[in-house]
Amino acid sequence: MRAALFLEAGAPLSIQEVEALPPGPDDVVVRVTATALCQTDVSVRAGKYSYGAPLIMGHEACGVIEAVGSAVEGVAVGDRVATSTAPCCGVCENCRGGRPHVCVLAQEVRKPMRARLADGSLAVGLYGLGSFAEQMTVNRASVVPLTTSLPDEQLALIGCGVTTGLGAVLNRADIRPGGSVAVIGCGAVGLAAIQGARIAGAETVIGIDPRGARRADALALGASLALEPGEGLVEAVLAATGGRGVDACIDGVGLPDTVQQAYAMTRQAGSVVIVGLPPQGTRYSFDAWPFFLSEKRISSSLFGSADIRRDFPRYARFAEEGRLNLAGLVSRTLTLDEVNEGLDALAAGEVLRAVIVPN
């Protein structure tokens, strides 16, 4: 099969013919029907996060099951599936305790070698996936079977970015009908968060982004107001919420400055949810007294705090019902050979999501 591999930090991904290794008893083989490019792929290619090499890239995907291991239950050859960066085994303490997004299999699924290169070296898949390929072999816990009418290019988005944004609002921020939400950063994740705010019934939804095109996207996808960051931002959010601040602010950037602003624009007993991962070693600081007295909550949301077996079918249904616009997040489709151009376009902010159709 053909796959796009990370070999060296900062170099273009290398598209090669590789030999897929046979699945283990808990694995499934998926023919990839669509895989989207995510900012994490850009960061890994640039060497910002290190997962070793060679590494089969790609992690936001959907496909069709082609083979199942001897111990696999609940999914069969021919099933349509979406993949997940966070596996869910369904039986570990975290899965049973209402925290399936931190399933204990998370590290285990990333370890197995999945393909042999022509030079004999062995490659793992990014996050235990590796979807920039015609086919991928993954742990059964990393896929969710779905019956949906969504086209592949849209279904693939549920595998990472859309779930991250929607889940930050629906699973982590406590939004009630009529509530208010601000979203800092209106890329694909932020735009999914804006749509999640609408789905949750929020009436005041504020998208914040320095790029005019992204502010226009925010308004098109459900924001009631779009603001440019800078001087007067917090005051503008306060003015839009009767001086109280928003019920929740989703910070898709996660830098000390944006977290500070998110905190300042959130009302008493409101919620700041950080979904953007800042550089390693970043520290946040805030005054203890106002924090104590305001009872504001600050948390992160990892992979949309998702229960993938519950949330993936639910998010697909939102899209089928027209409550979630996924088509508006797909800017371009590509072939596997165009993966590096797609990542360049994403890095330059020219696309929200570019989607590879590898087969």
The footprint of Zn ion (CB under 5 A) covers: 38, 40, 89, 92, 95, 103, 160
Q: Which is nearer to Zn ion, 98 or 243 (CB)?
A: 98
Q: Which is nearer to Zn ion, 38 or 233 (CB)?
A: 38
Place of tokens 């320095």: 210
Q: Which is nearer to Zn ion, 71 or 239 (CB)?
A: 71
Please give the single-letter amino acid code of residue 190: G
Q: Indicate the angle between helix axes 39-46 and 339-347, nearest 10 degrees.
A: 100
CB 133 within 8 A of CB 58: yes
Q: Which is nearer to Zn ion, 60 or 247 (CB)?
A: 60
CB 129 within 8 A of CB 34: no
Task: State in angstroms the smallest separation of the CB of 59 from Zn ion.
Answer: 6
CB 180 within 8 A of CB 246: yes
Task: State in angstroms the smallest separation of the CB of 18 from Zn ion.
Answer: 22
Q: Which is nearer to Zn ion, 61 or 160 (CB)?
A: 160
Say which residues have a Cβ less than 8 Å from residue 242's Cβ, sequence separation at least 6.
Answer: none
Say which residues have a Cβ less than 8 Å from residue 350's Cβ, sequence separation at least 6.
Answer: 331
Q: Indicate the angle between helix axes 233-240 and 256-264, nearest 10 degrees.
A: 30
Q: What is the DSSP string of 7-66?
A: -STTSPPEEEE-EEPPP-TTEEEEEEEEEE--HHHHHHHHTSS---SSEE---EEEEEEE
- The token duo for 274 is 């950080």
Task: State in angstroms the smallest separation of the CB of 36 from Zn ion.
Answer: 8
Question: How far is residue 319 CA from its own chain's centroid?
Answer: 16
Q: Which is nearer to Zn ion, 157 or 173 (CB)?
A: 157
Q: Which is nearer to Zn ion, 20 or 277 (CB)?
A: 277
Task: State in angstroms the smallest separation of the CB of 307 from Zn ion.
Answer: 11
As a whole number of angstroms, the distance between CA 346 and CA 348 comes to 5
Task: State in angstroms the smallest separation of the CB of 257 from Zn ion.
Answer: 24
Task: State in angstroms the smallest separation of the CB of 4 from Zn ion.
Answer: 15
Task: State in angstroms the smallest separation of the CB of 309 from Zn ion.
Answer: 11
